[in-house]
Homo-oligomer: A and B are copies of this chain.
Amino acid sequence: MYSKEIESLLKSHKAEIGDSIELTFGKEKFSGTIMPRPEIGDDSILVIKQQNGYNIGIRVGKGAKISKLPLEKKSFSFAKADVKYDKDLPKVGLIYTGGTIGSKIDYVSGGVYSFTKPEELIADVPELAGIANLEISNPFSILSEDMNYKDWQRIAQEVAKSLNGGARGVVVTHGTDTMHYSSAALSFMLSGLNGPVVYTGAQRSSDRGSSDAFINLISATQIAARSNVAEVGILMHGSSSDNFCDFNRGTKVRKMHTSRRDAFKSINNLPIARITTDSNIEYLSEHREIDSEGKHKVVANTDFEPKVALIKVYPNSDPEIIDHYVGKAYKGIVLEGTGLGHVPTSPSIKEMSWIPHIERANEKGVVIGMTSQTLYGRVSSNVYRNLREVAKAGAIHCEDMLPEVAYVKLGWLLANHKKEEDVKRLLVTNLAGEITERIETDWYM
């Protein structure tokens, strides 16, 4: 239900959910289909699905006018498929955490369907039933931008439960904005993995013709059910066509585009595997493989220290930002420096030098990691004299780790290791494929 104000506005214009309308409000004009109030959402915001397929929310004030546009109403219903257990298929966990991929909108009724029941899911993507026996769980439904470390912890627990309960692999559906932070977190949190943990999502909702939801979901389930990979990764479209998906290592991948379906790219690495729409899996890089002999129990070490900051360094940037976080009792800071891992060192405006601030934070026991805003390539602490100054002040150059991954790793290390020297040593030790020893020339862009 919407707020009283919206309900009465609709009533007075004889408009209801599913109607196609034009809403005039001050100088603004909106047209589209009236949607029901989203489950998590402000009840005083009217949601309209526009012709381009996107929803907008409008805070309707006094003086709004509605005129109904003609549109034939169709009834809409999901076909119900039987969910039968197939003893020849592997068991795969499907953990649905929200985001575009897990929901579907009925244009006419405006109903929002969440894939929380297997029969609904399989009805909509019948191919899934031929790949695996799916065990679906839905610990929560959270938008990607709102995810935090507590959500990562719950996902990690769910994945461990599913794998220890006999699933061969797990698919995690997740909003795309912060999916690579989440996949990095699980890469560090889960030990003893003996199957694929496949994050997937959609850049375009399943009610748009160009949606990537179905191919991503099918391909992710294929990787979970059939691949030999015992790692956490992200599977999304590998090109702007619907021809293949890439399964990228969870610690070497990044969202590189706001809206393209092939937004996720492996950085300083190749994808682990590529899967075509006819389900052919090609392995592209070395990876941890499933041990078919051994017994494995997945352990989730989910402790996480949220008092870690990720700070971008740029010309004119004020180094007192470090003192700000030290003052708030932060335990770690990851800097996104320039080039090989620089900060302003001997600028003409003396207060702009970051060196004394890094030094003081380091003396207080704050662990400081250095990464590069170039994203590609490796930072270094000894190519130039100024880099050595940065290192001498206490910053630890984090090899070819992505800034986002170094941030997640430091938060996890600080919660799981008491000694500062252990944290510093492990920060530059490869634990989950986050550090690539040798970057090949043809991996760039």
Task: Please report A residues at the B interface, Cβ cutoff 8 Å.
Answer: 38, 40-41, 45, 47, 54-57, 59, 140, 142-152, 176-178, 181-182, 240, 254-260, 262-263, 265, 306, 308-312, 314-318, 320-321, 324, 328, 336-349, 352, 372-380, 382-386, 388-389, 392, 404, 407, 411, 441, 444-445
Asked if A344 contacts B145 (CB within 8 A), the reply is: yes
A152 to B40, CA, bound (A): 47
Chain B positions within 8 Å of A148 at CB level: 315-316, 344, 347-349, 352
Q: Which of B258, B372, B384 contacts A55 (CB 8 A)?
A: B384
Asked if B314 contacts A404 (CB within 8 A), the reply is: yes
Chain B positions within 8 Å of A321 at CB level: 321, 324
Q: Which of B146, B258, B372, B383 contacts A347 (CB 8 A)?
A: B146
Asked if A339 contacts B258 (CB within 8 A), the reply is: yes
Given contacts A181-B314, A255-B374, A407-B314, contact A385 B309 (CB under 8 A): no
Known contacts A148-B347, A263-B377; can you find 8 more A-B pairs with CB under 8 A?
A40-B346, A145-B342, A146-B345, A148-B316, A176-B339, A255-B339, A255-B373, A263-B376
Chain B positions within 8 Å of A317 at CB level: 309-310
Report the minimum CB–CB distance from A318 to chain B (whole Å): 7
Given contacts A178-B315, A315-B147, contact A257 B377 (CB under 8 A): yes
Q: Which of B259, B262, B324, B347 contacts A340 (CB 8 A)?
A: B259
Chain B positions within 8 Å of A392 at CB level: 59
Asked if B145 contacts A258 (CB within 8 A), the reply is: no
Report the minimum CB–CB distance from A218 to chain B (whole Å): 23
Asked if A258 contacts B340 (CB within 8 A), the reply is: yes
Chain B positions within 8 Å of A142 at CB level: 347-348
A318 to B377, CA, bound (A): 28
Asked if B374 contacts A263 (CB within 8 A), the reply is: yes
Chain B positions within 8 Å of A376 at CB level: 256-258, 260, 263
Chain B positions within 8 Å of A382 at CB level: 54, 56
Closest chain B residue to A327 by CB distance? B324
Chain B positions within 8 Å of A309 at CB level: 317-318
Q: Which of B146, B345, B445 contacts A145 (CB 8 A)?
A: B345
Report the minimum CB–CB distance from A304 to chain B (whole Å): 8
Closest chain B residue to A203 by CB distance? B339
Asked if A265 contacts B144 (CB within 8 A), the reply is: no
A404 to B315, CA, bound (A): 10
| Cross-chain pairs A/B with CB under 8 angstroms, 11 sampled | A57-B388, A59-B392, A140-B348, A143-B346, A145-B386, A146-B347, A177-B338, A181-B314, A258-B379, A308-B316, A312-B312
Given contacts A150-B348, A385-B55, contact A145 B343 (CB under 8 A): yes
Asked if B441 contacts A240 (CB within 8 A), the reply is: yes
Report the minimum CB–CB distance from A180 to chain B (whole Å): 10
Asked if A45 contacts B385 (CB within 8 A), the reply is: yes
Chain B positions within 8 Å of A338 at CB level: 144-145, 177-178, 255
Asked if B385 contacts A41 (CB within 8 A), the reply is: yes
Closest chain B residue to A185 by CB distance? B315
Given contacts A314-B404, A321-B324, contact A56 B145 (CB under 8 A): no
